[in-house]
Structure 1
Amino acid sequence: MKIVLLGYMGCGKSVIGAFLAKKLQVPFYDLDHEIEKSTQISITELFQSKGELYFRKKENEILKVFVEKQEDFVLSLGGGTPCYYNNHELLQHEGVFSIYLKASVDTLVSRLINEKDQRPLLHNQDEVSLKDFINKHLFDRNFYYHQATKVVVVDNKSVEQLVSEIESLLN
């Protein structure tokens, strides 16, 4: 089974994905890391030097490769991945089980406020503007995120609890 985790930045896709893959004994991939490997450029540098459009095109190309793979894996997407180039339709591909890791705005703000330097889209945000920014993004992305096979709420749950919940959905 190809398990794809999607959701807003800071919802825990990479951490939960790595833990889930280890528990299921399948490879774990992070789409952003795969883009960095493919381009030999960090995501931050890609945004700065080539622009978001170039990044989104690369993201789509690499996601297509994963969806076509014949192996089982867990893949975490970037927060915006489902919203561009009809990527949400790729998540409907046969053998793909997609999970939207849904976090509240307050949870996301508390996680992201200290990570602004590592997140190209958040550089100039203070706590109030960050909350507004996330609210707007979640509103804009709501349709795409809800195309996932299942929705799992992450608020106030440990990684272990979330992985157990996801495992129960897979059976």
Structure 2
Amino acid sequence: MTIALIGYMGSGKSQIGLELSKTLNYKFLDFDAYLEEKEQMPVKEIFKSKGELYFRKLETKYLAQVLQLENSIISLGGGTPCYGNNMDQIVNAIGVKSVYLKTSIPTLCARLFDERAKRPLIAHLNAEADLQEFIGKHLFERSIFYMKASHSIQTDGKTVEQLAQELAVKLL
């Protein structure tokens, strides 16, 4: 079985995925790191030099590869499920369970505000109110994709360890 973690940036996909991989004794793969390795360029640089559309096409290309992994936890990018036929690929992949890490807008804002410079989509937002509005709009647009996941878990107020345990019980 492979577990694909989806959700908005800042929802904890990488941290929870790493902890869950230890709990289940599975391999862990951060999809953005995988893309960076394949392209020999940081995601931020891909966005800057080649644009978001190019990046989204790369995601679709490499998604098909990583969904074939076995006994793995894959932390997908926040936008990965929302472009092309990516969410259909995830949902229809044999042996893959998808989990939406549902996180509230205030929690996402608190986690992301100081990380803006590292995140190409929000680097230009300098006020917390602007970030909150941006996240709210994005979540509204993306929720139709995220809600197609086979499982969903609320992350607010829980530790990474609690979430990994809760997911392990839910998925096995």
TM over 0.5: yes
RMSD over equivalenced CA pairs, Å: 0.7
Cα shift at 1:26: 1.2
Code of the aligned partner of 2:144: F
Structure-1 residue corresponding to 2:94 = 94
Structure-2 residue corresponding to 1:112 = 112
Structure-1 residue corresponding to 2:15 = 15
Code of the aligned partner of 2:130: S
- Does the aligned pair in 1 maintain the 2:82–2:145 contact within 8 Å? yes
Gaps of 5+ in 1: none
| Aligned ranges 1:12-91 → 2 under 5 Å | 12-69=12-69, 71-91=70-90
**SS at 1:91 equivalent:** helix
> Structure 1 residue runs of 4+, over 3 Å off?
none
- Does the aligned pair in 1 maintain the 2:23–2:168 contact within 8 Å? no
Cα shift at 1:23: 1.4
Cα shift at 1:68: 2.4
Cα shift at 1:72: 1.3
Code of the aligned partner of 1:160: E
**SS at 1:139 equivalent:** helix
Q: Answer yes or no: is 1:149 the counterpart of 2:150.
A: yes
**SS at 2:67 equivalent:** helix
Q: Whole-Å Cα distance in 2 between the matches of residues 108 and 135 of structure 1?
A: 10
Gaps of 5+ in 2: none
User: With structure 1 as the length reference, what TM-score do the two structures score?
Assistant: 0.97
User: With structure 2 as the length reference, what TM-score do the two structures score?
Assistant: 0.97
- Does the aligned pair in 1 maintain the 2:7–2:13 contact within 8 Å? yes
- Does the aligned pair in 1 maintain the 2:23–2:165 contact within 8 Å? no
Q: Whole-Å Cα distance in 2 between the matches of residues 147 and 155 of structure 1?
A: 20
Cα shift at 1:22: 1.3
Q: Identity percentage over the alignment?
A: 46
Q: Answer yes or no: is 1:165 the counterpart of 2:166.
A: yes
Q: Answer yes or no: is 1:128 the counterpart of 2:129.
A: yes
Code of the aligned partner of 1:80: G
